[in-house]
Structure 1
Amino acid sequence: MLKKKFICLGLSMIMLFTSIINTPAAVTAGQYYKIKYTHNKKTVTKRAIDARYNNKVIKTNIPGYIEGSISMYSAYWIFGRCSSISTKYSYSSKTKKITLTRGSQKLVLTLNSTAATINGKKITLPSAPRKVYYPARKKNYIMVPGDAVAKNLQLNYAWNNRLLAGLITKKGSTSTQPTTATSNTSTTSTTLGSKTKITASASNYSIRIKKPSGLSASAVSCTDDYSNKRLRIIVNGNYKTFFSSASNRYIKESLTYNVSYSGGKTYIDLKTNVIKGFSVIQTSSYIYVKYADPKKMFYHVVVVDAGHGGKDSGAVGNGYSEKNMTLKIVQSIKSNFDKNSSYKVYYTRLSDWYPSLSYRYKMANEVSADRFLSVHINSSDSSSSKGTETLYKTYKSYAQTLQSFALTGMGYASNGSYNRGLKYRSDLAVLNGPKMTTALVELGFISNKTEASRINSRTSTIGYNLYKAICNSF
């Protein structure tokens, strides 16, 4: 009998241990995870977001995510299981109907359809409910548009970009909606790609723009067109006459306001004299925009420079040109920063044109950047010259961090012959001009056939490692 007890105890411990090790680690807001859509069988990577009720994170077995500009959440875990919200949830696999009831409000949604009803009245959702498979849990979940569901259930919903969370409160609390925003070509939310120290609100704004009746938040997006020192607000449809009317805007802080219409979209351009950081939010009635100096607006400001460009090809050799290689590497750096909202990053060029040397460092000074990186490829009269080096004038520790990661990106050992080390230079505009932590990395030699080919084949890896170097420098 004693032997059997020990066997049972041992089996119980094994089962408990197995259960523990098979429990998936929690995905927190900002981390990336995979899901599979059941309607089209596509597996996609999503960035996790939270839902909060009265500023407390609602526990769920699957994180929320952004679909276009719409926050999507588990219908059951957020709206059905959270007792504070007091909503009843049901789903019929036969009719594919999702029913959410709160008080006198009855919201009926249909899987994969934007058509829905609230108390029998037809409405259109900004995004269709989806059934997704979550590999980490090995289960299916039904995801619904959080903003629309909350409001139809007589709740407030507001997006907070700093927390990466939708804030749900009872009616009577302040409610705002997120505005989709774009920094150059990458889509982000209200803070245009980075966490902000200053957030626009109904009590803190530079300009307040009235919205036409019925204009949804999803119909409005933004682009931080910093090269032209402007914020561009893009509205689906022709609202030029409405937004041109002076009575529909209130400007508290100096800026140039211009409205145009083209290709089915209305463009509201807010131009400033120098580069500014922007925060944008919406309510059902207004668009609020707050701007300030980037360093005041954002926690970490970075400027990345792709060497040469346009009329200036830089070094050439073995069928390659420096300007093209540096651009590919910087585009890789950007693709990584686009996934990290802790940094606001400005780029001197993202296409094949030539910014003057003064343009490059003046941009960095104008935004009061914390870090400046200029990316280059080396060249020599000797085809045997090889290796990576980083140039600096003042900030040697930053240069050392870049050198270490650049070697990794190139696939070189830190103690090998390809490590050319740090080089002090006092004669370069991009090291003399910027008034912040600055360095220039020379990744390898375009004049060396083997190394030129190596750089060209590793632009993504090099870009990723330079991105990591900048992050680690903080």
Structure 2
Amino acid sequence: MNKKQILCTGLSLALLLSSVITTPASIAAGKYFKIQYIHSKKKVKKKAINARYNNKVISTKIPGYIEGSTSMYSAYWIFGHCSSLGTKYSYSSSKKRVTLQRNSQKLVMTLNSRTATLNGKKFTLPSAPRKIRYIAKKKNYIMVPGDIVAKKLGLNYSWNNRLLSGVISKGSTAKPAPSTPSNTKPQTSNPSGSTTKITASESDYSIRIKKPDGLSSSSISSNDDYWNKQLQIIIDGDYRNFFNTASNRTIKDSLTYKVSYLNGKTYINLITSTIKGFSVTQTDSYIYVKYAAPKDMFYRIIVIDAGHGGKDSGATGNGYIEKNMTLKIVQNIKTNFDSDPLYKVYYTRLSDWYPTLTERYDLANTVNADRFLSVHINSADSASAKGTETLYKDYKTYANVIHSSSLSGMGYTKGSSYDRSLVYRPGLAVLRGTKMMSALAEMGFISNSTESARIDARSEAIGSALYQSLCNSFN
């Protein structure tokens, strides 16, 4: 093996480097870094992800990140710089066009557009290619959706959540992989790298909505308002007349369609009779929405409950209020899941209001969740009471996974005096009423001045640890 071949084993998310020495991305997977979208000037913080080939991280000048539910990677460093995958990269700055080739497959994408072509045939990308600025390095990079790009070029791609990596391997070049995931639930992993089993498309939709001329995809977003059993499509600008025109929509499945306008935005509310799972895709001409029962739409479903809320403050002590502390932790869990395409997560509350206990476990049962987690803070008459415990009814193994991460998030060691272990509590409503794996985490004691301050200071670490435990529970 020559020197260049040895250096090849340390590549970035696209492919092994076989001929050029590269510098690894300067930030580890799971760490946050800042980028700026060139087209909108918007600055955002992203969690770094890797790409792997032959069980090794592919070295690159910029880490990947999640955009919506799509893994984004450097087009050049993954599919241009590394030769082991047999891909070629070119870019036309005048046309803002990215071209990637592998054997007989030629993939052409345009910056900020979800419409691409494979060998001249159009298809829709899950996320548009973007030119971004890596703020720490003061350099620009073109990022592309790694999952579908790899598959369209005849490569295999899967997501490894434990490693926070897209895993690329060589597949057959005779036929490119399909752009939509299989409807068959995987036994151990999700081969599509996405939470969605069924993706809205030109051939499979519940409603198709025509777009006004000139309205860009970036001006349209959506919000799954599941407590109100509706999907909100949100459009920048006043398009009430256009979207109220019946000829501009085709409805296949039963739903209530309402249009409103508020604070510079047009809202299309698609109201269903029960909670549904939604998939939204766009072309230059249409918005496609597909809905079905959540379990039919998504591979893995989690419900997370921030204990108490609204009129129910929970325990209080040392200047802290339990409902606020549980909400802060759950919001930090959400920050992690927002960047993870493998899970559909429902939250009983993300603000200060009070869902009844019945509403909490009914939500989990209605969406047929795979996991349920309720977050609480303990209290005792003794100011010296301390430590973390996890309550369970039927699923002790799952509870133990949650408990280990709760201790880790708190900075405690398993088996120490702060480890209060698992506690069997079959009478608790949210454990008794849920029909899936469920647990209730008591992070520590609000009545202990040192521990309550520790919980508040470590809410981000606790959120990250609980996020990881929920992911690990599927393994």
Aligned-partner residue type, residue 219 of structure 2: A
Instruction: Deviation per CA, 1:26-82: give whole Å up to 9, x if none.
Output: 2369x6685877999x996466699xxxxxxxx997677678999796579879999
Inter-partner Cα distance in structure 1 for 2:312 and 2:261: 36
Tell me which residue corresponds to 1:302: 302
Name the larger-Rg structure: 1
Note the alpha carbon deviations across 1:230-256, whole angstroms, 9 max, x for none: 111111222111111111111111111
Structure 1 residues 110-125: aligned runs within 5 Å: none
CA pair 385-402 structure 1, distance change in 2 beyond 3 A: same
Shift of 1:319: 1.4
TM-score normalised by structure 1 residue count: 0.69
CA contact (8 A) 1:392 1:439 kept: yes
Aligned to 2:241: 241
Mapping for residues 14-29 of structure 1, pairs under 5 Å? 16=3, 20=6, 24-27=10-13
Per the alignment, residue 473 of structure 1 pairs with 473
Say whether the 8 Å CA contact 1:410–1:458 is kept in structure 2.
yes
Q: Tell me the TM-score normalized by structure 2.
A: 0.69
* Aligned ranges 1:412-423 → 2 under 5 Å: 412-423=412-423
**Change over 3 Å in CA distance of 1:225–1:43 after alignment to 2:** closer
For 1:406, the equivalent position in structure 2 comes to: 406
2:448 is matched with 448
Change in CA separation of 1:344 and 1:282 when aligned onto 2, cut-off 3 Å: same
SS in 2 for 1:359: helix
Q: Which residue is 2:363 aligned to? A: 363
Partner of 2:229: 229
Q: Which amino acid aligns with 1:27?
A: L
Gaps of 5+ in 2: 16-28, 52-58, 100-109, 112-127, 160-165, 168-175, 180-191
CA contact 1:194–1:344 (8 Å) conserved in 2: no
SS of equivalent residue, structure 2 residue 368: coil
Q: What amino acid is the match of 2:464?
A: Y
CA-based RMSD: 4.7
Identical pairs, percent: 54
8 Å contact 2:14–2:82 — kept in the other structure? Answer: no
1:331 paired residue number: 331
When residues 236 and 464 of structure 1 are mapped into structure 2, their CA distance, relative to the original with a 3 A threshold, is same
In the TM superposition, what is the alpha-carbon distance from 1:263 to its structure 2 partner? Answer: 2.2
Check conservation: 2:14, 2:78, Cα contact below 8 A: no
User: Secondary structure of 1:447's match?
Assistant: coil
User: How many Å apart are 1:434 and its aligned residue?
Assistant: 0.9
In 1: Cα distance, 2:408 partner to 2:278 partner: 35
Instruction: Report deviation, 1:298.
Output: 0.8
Q: CA deviation at 1:426?
A: 2.1
Rounded Cα–Cα distance in structure 1 between residues aligned with 2:350 and 2:359: 14
| 2:129 is equivalent to residue 143 of structure 1 | no
CA contact (8 A) 2:66 2:339 kept: no
The aligned residue for residue 375 of structure 1 is 375
Listed as ranges, the gaps of 5+ residues in structure 1 are 1-11, 51-58, 92-96, 103-108, 111-125, 151-155, 166-172, 177-190
* 1:291 aligned residue: 291
Q: 1:468 to 1:44 in 2, by over 3 A?
A: closer
Aligned with 2:224: secondary structure?
A: strand
- SS of equivalent residue, structure 1 residue 280: strand
Taking a change above 3 Å as real, the CA distance of residues 62 and 456 of structure 1, as seen in their structure-2 partners, is closer
* Count of aligned pairs: 393
Q: Do 1:132 and 1:143's aligned partners in 2 also have CA atoms closer than 8 Å?
A: no
Structure 2 equivalent of residue 4 of structure 1? none
**2:129, 2:142 within 8 Å by CA — same for their partners in 1?**
no
Counterpart-to-counterpart distance in 1, 2:96 and 2:468: 46
